[in-house]
Amino acid sequence: MGVCYSRLLRSTALIAAGLATGLANPSPSQAATPAVVAGDGVLCDLTRTLSGGATDVRCLIPPGADPHHFQLTPANRRDISNSELVLINGYNLNPSLSRLDGNFELIAVGERAVPNNPNKDPHLWHSPANTGAMANVVADALQQLPINAESKQALKRRQQNVIAILKDLDTWNRQQISTIPADHRVLVSEHLAFEFFTDRYGMRHVAMIDDYATGGTLRPSSLRAISNAVKASKTKVLFPEQFPVSKTMKRISRSSGKPIAKNLVFADGTAPGKSLIETATSNTCTVVNAQGGSCNQASAERLQQRWSAVQ
């Protein structure tokens, strides 16, 4: 009888301990990691870098893919419905993401970070100042999720690191662009995607397709006007956004007499296999080197090393 009683006491104590630690008040390791979906633009790398291991971040649009015409797959829709937080760029960068509905919080990060955007240009991240503002919106949203105090502190530390690196990227961009002879401080791209970049650094922007989305066609009557604008811009080259080079770009190259640059500029997000810092420095170096300036590759790599080390 005594033995049975002590067993009963012990099992009651175990149940009570289980209730205290495992059920009523779960320890951090037992709590589910909140699921977050990062949509378009540079949000995949930005959100993963800020989150570290604090949340489970799923990315929708693969690097190098075109967000303007991306259609959600069934797997994307599953990830979205299983998530607590969905982060999208906003300003209609990807139209199919603006119509999401479900049991999650949906934040248009770019719209919250850069509310003053009269033309509603979605390509905000070409200015590191905008990317920094987006990082703050993402970090604030992640802080609202059920993560423990230690994770919240680590998130704050990563946010400060990310902001510092983006500030240095801004300074670095300005230094590289200052090496371009003034006449050639111009970026001729395929679609209207680089105004935040050119405005920030005192460059001119000529877009062959006068549209924020890709894939527009050029009317024959526009060809002469664009060719004249390209010639007048004093650019040395035209910057392609994908290979193979589009027919429109080849036509404008022929009619303006300007060659097509050998390297791509990445207009719509991160380049395949590259972080947002590598993509940004690659874009800047492509433009600077082709326009007669001199890009400091070693300092670009140091920025990237700092980005990779954020943890």
Contact residues toward Zn ion (CB under 5 A) are 193, 267-268
3-state secondary structure of 172: helix
Residue with smaller CB distance to Zn ion, 97 or 193 = 193
Cβ proximity to Zn ion: between 65 and 154 the closer is: 65
Which residues lie closer than 8 Å to 123 by C-beta, 6 or more apart?
A: 41, 93, 193, 194, 195, 196, 212, 267, 268
**Shortest Cβ distance from residue 93 to Zn ion (Å)?**
7
Report in angstroms how near the CB of residue 184 gets to Zn ion at its nearest: 24
Minimum distance from residue 147 beta carbon to Zn ion (Å): 33
Give whichever of 214 and 304 is closer to Zn ion, judged by the CB atom. Answer: 214
Q: What is the smallest separation between the CB atom of 188 and Zn ion, expressed in angstroms? A: 15
Q: Which residue matches tokens 């700092």?
A: 306
Q: Which is nearer to Zn ion, 65 or 100 (CB)?
A: 65
In the bound state with Zn ion, the residue whose beta carbon lies nearer, of 125 and 172, is: 125
In whole angstroms, the minimum distance from the beta carbon of 208 to Zn ion comes to 13
At a CB cut-off of 8 Å and minimum separation 6, what does 282 contact?
263, 266, 271, 274, 300
Residues ≥6 apart with Cβ < 8 Å to 78: none
C-alpha 37/C-alpha 281 separation (Å) is: 26
